[in-house]
Amino acid sequence: MSQFAPLKNDLILRAAKGEKVERPPIWIMRQAGRYLPEYHEVKGKRDFFECCRDAEIASAITIQPVDHYDGLIDAAIIFSDILVIPQAMGFEIDMIDGKGPVFRDPLRSPEDINKINLKPDVKTCLDWAYKAITLTRTKLNGRVPLLGFCGAPWTLLVYMTEGQGSKMFRFAKQWIYEYTKEAHILLQAITDSLIEFLAQQVVAGAQMLQVFESWGGELGPIEFEEFCLPYLKQIASRLPKRLEELDIKEKIPLTVFAKGSWYALDDLCEAGYDTVSLDWTYRPEDAVKVVNGRRITLQGNLDPGIMYGSNDTITTKVEQMIKGFGGGKQNYIINFGHGTHPFMNPDKIEHFLKECHRFGLQ
Ligand SMILES: Cc1c2[nH]c(c1CCC(=O)O)Cc1[nH]c(c(CCC(=O)O)c1C)Cc1[nH]c(c(CCC(=O)O)c1C)Cc1[nH]c(c(C)c1CCC(=O)O)C2
């Protein structure tokens, strides 16, 4: 018997498995965050990573959007960050207001690899992450499924080498084009840690998982094939085996989000994922054509910037999107094409969610 309450809403799990559903499920990337006043109330002056590491705070923030939009959101995503794997490998990272994450000592040459731990014990050193998941799932009490996540290997290599977000990707590109062999060593080590991290999130209570390749679009198709795809495939093929070893009986749906990598959609449909998440540069009808009947659920893909438009515009765009994905009763999960912004008006998001329900039921 599971230690957790039975699910009252399993729409997203059914949609991810390709079952017919009464309406497309909805969640939003970065649905817990700075656009919600209650986020600031709970976070106060605390450091971002301190909040992730405190199970009470992380679970409270995770559940905020589920409460705020009561009955309108079909999944919770654990409040954490993709950068916890670099932290486990030994990087010190500061979250700077208005700037984002900054690594104190990024990797600038192959010798720097010696300064980090390529084989961290992610079960032990990220135990706080699993505690936060278990507590959140308990507190959710079956209202909606809890999603776990991680950053994809290339995206994490970018942060580890650049030390922060970038426009030119000077260091990350030097790694793949000059230190190619070492870049692959790093990508492989990250992949190994990610698989264990995802598996342990499931052991702790995560019911679906997403891999964020947020910097996918910085690579062209050929480089994507060399530096992203093989590692994304490894995650999808090795994770189920690891879960079996850990005695997890149920199928855990797995989503990949490779932002900007529109050219890779066909490959991503063959990469072993149940769900492929799209940014807003795809026309939904075109993406459906690429899928071409394969057993893949698409997720996405409204431009989050539409939240700066009028309610009428949001209504029009929601209708277009859901129609574009074939009405949404099968193989579709509604999401934004990327995360919420801190400046968004929570009421606009509520309008978006309500319209998704309205058109999704039609
Ligand atoms: C690239 C990336 C990161 N983190 C993440 C990604 C992949 C998704 C994406 O492409 O956006 C993933 C992430 N980060 C966060 C979540 C939480 C769960 C959720 O979606 O609700 C998730 C899924 C919280 C967060 N992660 C961060 C915040 C803001 C922290 C704060 O100041 O309160 C939140 C709520 C910080 C963060 N963390 C990261 C950046 C670049 C930043 C700063 C960007 C910004 O300022 O918005 C790295």
Q: Would you list the domain boundaries of the chain?
A: 11-361
Q: Which atom of ligand 1 is nearest to the CA of 33?
A: 35
Out of 27, 30, 53, give the residue to mutate to test ligand 1, the one with the largest number of ligand atoms within 8 Å of its CB. Answer: 30
**What is the model's pLDDT at position 356?**
98
Is the distance from CB of 36 to CB of 73 less than 8 angstroms?
no
32 CB near ligand 1 (under 6 Å)? yes
Q: Which atom of ligand 1 is nearest to the CA of 341?
A: 47
Quick one: how far is CA 91 from the chain centroid? 21
**What is the model's pLDDT at position 98?**
87
Q: Which atom of ligand 1 is nearest to the CA of 31?
A: 21
Mean pLDDT of the region 61-76: 98
Helical segments of the chain, H only: 11-16, 37-43, 48-53, 55-68, 84-88, 122-125, 127-140, 153-162, 170-177, 180-204, 221-227, 229-245, 265-269, 284-291, 311-324, 346-361
Mean pLDDT score across all residues of the chain: 97
Is the distance from CB of 1 to CB of 313 less than 8 angstroms?
no
Q: Which atom of ligand 1 is nearest to the CA of 342?
A: 47
Ligand 1 centre distance from Cα of residue 289 (Å): 31
Please tell me whether the interface predicted TM-score (ipTM) of this complex is above 0.85: yes
Cβ contacts of residue 11 below 8 Å, gap of 6+? 21, 22, 23, 25, 74
Q: Determine which residue's CA is closest to atom 44 belonging to ligand 1.
A: 100
Ligand 1 centre distance from Cα of residue 360 (Å): 28
**What is the model's pLDDT at position 90?**
98
Ligand 1 centre distance from Cα of residue 100 (Å): 8
- State how far the Cα of 25 lies from the Cα of 10, in Å rounded to an integer: 9
31 CB near ligand 1 (under 6 Å)? yes
Mean pLDDT of the region 300-304: 98
Mean pLDDT of the region 108-112: 98
Task: State pLDDT tens for residues 197-251.
Answer: 999 999 999 999 999 999 999 999 999 999 999 999 999 999 999 999 999 999 9
Q: Is the pLDDT of residue 87 over 70?
A: yes
**What is the model's pLDDT at position 318?**
98
- State how far the Cα of 95 lies from the Cα of 86, in Å rounded to an integer: 14
**What is the model's pLDDT at position 1?**
60
pLDDT band at 2 (very low <50, low <70, confident <90, very high): confident
Q: Is the pLDDT of residue 127 over 90?
A: yes
Task: Look up the CATH number of domain 11-361.
Answer: 3.20.20.210
- Bridge partners (DSSP) of residue 254 are 209
Please report where in the chains the tokens 């991503």 appear, as a residue. Answer: 268
How many Cβ atoms from other residues are within 10 Å of residue 40's Cβ?
A: 13
212 CB near ligand 1 (under 6 Å)? yes
Decide: residue 142, CB within 10 A, 0-12 exposed, 13-18 middle, 19+ buried.
Answer: middle
Task: State pLDDT tens for residues 275-293.
Answer: 999 999 999 999 999 999 9
Task: Supply the pTM of this predicted model.
Answer: 0.97
Q: Which atom of ligand 1 is nearest to the CA of 32?
A: 21
How many Cβ atoms from other residues are within 10 Å of residue 138's Cβ?
A: 15
**What is the model's pLDDT at position 230?**
98
Task: State pLDDT tens for residues 4-55.
Answer: 999 999 999 999 999 999 999 999 999 999 999 999 999 999 999 999 999 9
Q: Determine which residue's CA is closest to atom 6 belonging to ligand 1.
A: 82
Ligand 1 centre distance from Cα of residue 64 (Å): 16
Q: Is the pLDDT of residue 348 over 80?
A: yes
- State how far the Cα of 346 lies from the Cα of 68, in Å rounded to an integer: 9
Ligand 1 centre distance from Cα of residue 244 (Å): 30
Q: Determine which residue's CA is closest to atom 19 belonging to ligand 1.
A: 30
